[in-house]
Amino acid sequence: MLEDLLKGAEKSRLILVTDETECPGRHLLLNWIHNLGNRCDKIILICFERHTDFFTNWLPVNLQNKIIAIDYRSSNLGRDTDAILDKAISMTSQVGETVAVVIDSLSLHITLKSAAGTCHLLHKLASGSSVAQVVALLHRDVHDRSTCSLIEHIASSVIDIVSSTRFKYTCCIRHCRSTGKVYKSREYFVTDDNFHIENFGSASPGDSSTSQKQVSKVDPTAELPFSLSLTDSEKDERSKVKLPYLKDQ
């Protein structure tokens, strides 16, 4: 499913990639921009966090020319995140070509404004007649669960990066088709040294690419200098002991 979504074989109007500090999703975002460049005329890249050069310098020159960058740090709109997204909405109708929108990331706008307001602007972006796809990154460890759920609710596809090593990433995917049918899967992707994805596969529920210490169950009585259980002879001796205040039967 991930490969089909990435390459456009599986249609999805609004894709949400969620990550956290130990499982970054920005490398997947790089590959998404590359694939969008192969099937869209223009890409509006909204950068609230990393500088636009982080993305454009990674792309081949022919795709760099398709990028329309809106950098939060250098924009003449000041620090108004609403104005940044409103500008992107306006641009989608002015480009006059098939356009995609990529956002890195939603977390700043949600923090400065609100989750409900972010949902409203995302819906307006994805509803544009010339918009082929909106892809947004969300740092789920920055927000509470209810906030993340609200943003996820309006997305047609949610990709949660749940574990990673140096080059292998495991993700949980929830994809809703236009028919209403929902697909869920757990998959992995592998990148090369330059973060280009070179392999996809299905991941088992127990597959975790992060290095985790396996905690074994330890018997707390194993190292005691004495035994807590009685031998047969000790049990027999105990049965003969008369306790105080008990009468002989």
| 133-190 confidence digits (pLDDT tens) | 999 999 999 999 999 999 999 999 999 999 998 899 999 999 999 999 999 999 999 9
| 83-95 confidence digits (pLDDT tens) | 999 999 999 988 8
- CATH code, domain carrying 111: 3.40.50.300
Confidence class of residue 219 from pLDDT cuts 50, 70 and 90?
A: low
* Residue 223 resides in a domain: no
* Residue 234 resides in a domain: no
**Domain of 88, in residue numbers:** 12-162
Q: What is the pTM of this model?
A: 0.81
25 or 76, higher pLDDT = 25
Give the residue from 70, 21, 62 showing the smallest Cα distance to 44: 70
pLDDT > 90 fraction of the chain, expressed in percent and rounded: 75
The Cα 6–Cα 29 span in angstroms is 10
Tally of domains in the chain: 1
* Residue 80 resides in a domain: yes
